[in-house]
Amino acid sequence: QVQLVESGGGLVQAGGSLSPSCAASGSIFGRDVMGWYRQAPGKQRELVATIDSDGNTNYADSVKGRFTISKDNAKNMVYLQMNSLKPEDTAVYYCYLNWVRVWWGQGTQVTVSS
């Protein structure tokens, strides 16, 4: 059984930074893709960024140049450095793992005040 545990969300003013992280536990081996999605109130869950075992990254256009995703394969951890945050970045951020199947974390709230 795989579990994803996020940490590092919170409240920040516009222009500030946050750096949530996610730890995947369980017997994970081989190639995988980890990343982050987010869901704002009344909206569908959307991609933020993903990274594979080779370090290839994919970002939503809305976060390019502001967010950076990184991954520690040995520790099964994924990180998201979020800079220049905007009020429209406010959402619950979910950790994502695609390995055998898709796994989701419980979510961490990110609130950006104007």
Res. 5: pLDDT tops 90: yes
d(Cα 41, Cα 61) in Å, to the nearest integer? 20
Mean pLDDT of 95-108: 95
CA angle 41, 100, 97 (to 5 degrees): 35
Mean pLDDT of 68-86: 96
- State the pLDDT at residue 28: 80
- State the pLDDT at residue 66: 98
**Quick check: 87 and 114 in contact, CB under 8 A?**
yes
d(Cα 74, Cα 38) in Å, to the nearest integer? 25
- State the pLDDT at residue 30: 79
Task: Name the 3-class secondary structure at 87.
Answer: helix
32-48, pLDDT tens digit by residue? 899 999 999 999 999 99
